[in-house]
Amino acid sequence: MQAYEHRAQYYETDQMGIIHHSNYIRWFESARIWYMSQIGVDYREMERQGVMIPVLEVSCTYKSMVHFGDLVDIIPKMEKYNGVKLELSYLILDHGTKEVRTCGRSSHCFLNRDGRLLSLKKAYPVFDAVFRAAMEAEQA
């Protein structure tokens, strides 16, 4: 799969002139929504149909600094999917050198508008089929 590209913005930097650590979590979210669109799941459409995808856990390991103006490639990968829970990993690479800048993970579940846990397989089989196909492609 193609990488999600992001150009580091000035407002994302801290006093030391490097990207503030909190922004990597935002980058993961942007890459996750982009990834979902690449596999054929429209995040906005899921929400319109009543499916919420909250973050259960997120982790981030910083390997080397990203500065204002740097172009990075963010490579999301589906690690686990079982219809109720979704886990992704993220690899952030310098666009030019391919040096690893950051890596991380996030886990999510699926809820209805009332905050109740959903099984996509039962409640939204079309979405489930797309996620399952993408998971199989990731493992191939």
SS3 2: coil
DSSP secondary structure letters along 47-77: HHTT-B--EEEEEEEE-S--BTT-EEEEEEE
**Whole-angstrom distance, CA of residue 101 vs CA of residue 75:** 12
Which pLDDT score, from 0 to 100, does residue 14 have? 94
DSSP secondary structure letters along 4-33: EEEEPPGGGB-TTSBB-HHHHHHHHHHHHH
Q: Among 47, 26, 30, which Cα is nearest to 38's?
A: 30
The conformation of residue 97, written as its DSSP 8-state character, comes to T
Which pLDDT score, from 0 to 100, does residue 31 have? 98
Mean pLDDT for 17-30 is 96
Q: In the chain, pLDDT over 90 holds for what percent of residues? A: 96
Which pLDDT score, from 0 to 100, does residue 2 have? 87
Which pLDDT score, from 0 to 100, does residue 139 have? 85
Average per-residue pLDDT for the chain: 96
Which pLDDT score, from 0 to 100, does residue 75 have? 98
Q: Are 130 and 40 in contact (CB under 8 A)?
A: yes
What is the CA angle 84-89-107, rounded to 5? Answer: 30
Which pLDDT score, from 0 to 100, does residue 140 have? 80
Kindly report, residue by residue over 67-119, the tens digit of the pLDDT.
Answer: 999 999 999 999 999 999 999 999 999 999 999 999 999 999 999 999 999 99
Which pLDDT score, from 0 to 100, does residue 138 have? 87
Mean pLDDT for 14-18 is 92
**Whole-angstrom distance, CA of residue 86 vs CA of residue 9:** 29
**Whole-angstrom distance, CA of residue 15 vs CA of residue 38:** 35
Mean pLDDT for 41-60 is 97
